[in-house]
Amino acid sequence: MALFWVSKGLGPNVGNLARSQYSSNFVLTNGSKLLYSSLRNAKDVRSSPTAIVFMNMGGPSTLDETHDFLYELFSDNDLIPISQKYQRYIAKQIARFRTPKIQQQYSEIGGGSPIRRWSEHQAEKVCKILDKSCPETAPHKPYVAFRYARPLTDETYKQLMDDGIKRAVAFSQYPQFSYSTTGSSLNELWRQIKALDPDRSINWSVIDRWPTHEGLANAFAENIKKKLQEFPEDIRKDVVLLFSAHSLPMDVVNTGDAYPAEVASTVHRVMEVLNFSNPYRLVWQSQVGPKPWLGAQTAEITKFLEANEKGLIFIPIAFTSDHIETLHEVDLGIIGESDHSHKLKRCDSLNGSETFINALADVAKNHLKKQELYSRQLPLDFKLGKSNDPIKDLSLVFGDHSKDQK
User: Do residues 184 and 320 share a domain?
Assistant: no
User: Do residues 200 and 219 share a domain?
Assistant: no
Count of structural domains within the chain: 2
User: Do residues 316 and 303 share a domain?
Assistant: yes
Contact criterion met (CB below 8 Å) for 26 and 395: yes
Q: State the virtual CA torsion across 301, 302, 307, 309 in degrees, nearest 10.
A: 80
SS3 50: strand
Kind of pairing between the strands at 203-207 and 50-56: unpaired
Residue 27 lies in a domain: no
User: Do residues 67 and 151 share a domain?
Assistant: yes
CATH number at residue 298: 3.40.50.1400
Predicted confidence (pLDDT) per residue in 139-162, tens digit? 999 999 999 999 999 999 999 999
- The C-alpha angle 141, 316, 297, rounded to 5 degrees, equals 140
User: Do residues 176 and 62 share a domain?
Assistant: yes
Contact criterion met (CB below 8 Å) for 79 and 5: yes
User: Do residues 61 and 141 share a domain?
Assistant: yes
Which range marks the domain in which residue 318 is found?
A: 214-349
User: Do residues 203 and 64 share a domain?
Assistant: yes
Sorted by sequence, the CB contacts under 8 Å of residue 45 that are 6+ apart come out as 39, 166, 167, 203, 400
From residue 306, give the alpha-carbon distance in Å to each of 48, 234, 319, 336, 337: 55, 18, 23, 13, 12
User: Do residues 303 and 387 share a domain?
Assistant: no
Question: No. of H helices and E strands in the chain?
Answer: 14, 10
Residue 101 lies in a domain: yes
pLDDT value of residue 79: 67
User: Do residues 150 and 261 share a domain?
Assistant: no
User: Do residues 116 and 186 share a domain?
Assistant: yes
From residue 397, give the alpha-carbon distance in Å to each of 82, 83, 203, 205, 287: 27, 27, 9, 8, 32
From residue 256, give the alpha-carbon distance in Å to each of 42, 77, 181, 268, 387: 39, 20, 15, 20, 14
Distance, in Å, from the CA atom of 388 to the CA atom of 312, rounded to the nearest integer, reads 41
The single residue of 76, 78, 322, 362 carrying the catalytic annotation is 362
From residue 164, give the alpha-carbon distance in Å to each of 49, 134, 145, 171: 8, 20, 17, 19
- Written as tens digits, the pLDDT of the chain (406 aa) is 444 333 333 333 333 333 323 333 333 334 344 444 444 444 455 578 999 999 999 999 999 999 999 988 888 776 676 777 788 889 899 999 999 999 999 999 999 999 999 999 999 999 999 999 999 999 999 999 999 999 999 999 999 999 999 999 999 999 999 999 999 999 999 999 999 999 999 999 999 999 999 999 999 999 999 999 999 999 999 999 999 999 988 988 999 999 999 999 999 999 999 999 999 999 999 987 677 999 999 999 999 999 999 999 999 999 999 999 999 999 999 999 999 999 999 999 999 999 999 999 999 999 999 999 999 999 999 999 988 889 999 999 999 987 655 4
Distance, in Å, from the CA atom of 362 to the CA atom of 356, rounded to the nearest integer, reads 10
Residue 57 lies in a domain: yes
**Is 362 part of the annotated catalytic residue set?**
yes
Domain boundary among 314, 330, 349: 349
Residue 246 lies in a domain: yes
User: Could you give phi then psi for residue 346, rounded to 5 degrees?
Assistant: -105, 130
Residue 1 lies in a domain: no
Residue 15 lies in a domain: no
Residue 12 lies in a domain: no
How would you class 182 by CB atoms within 10 Å of its CB: exposed for 0-12, middle for 13-18, buried for 19 or more? buried
Predicted confidence (pLDDT) per residue in 213-264, tens digit? 999 999 999 999 999 999 999 999 999 999 999 998 898 899 999 999 999 9
User: Do residues 308 and 375 share a domain?
Assistant: no
From residue 92, give the alpha-carbon distance in Å to each of 87, 95, 96, 99: 9, 5, 6, 10
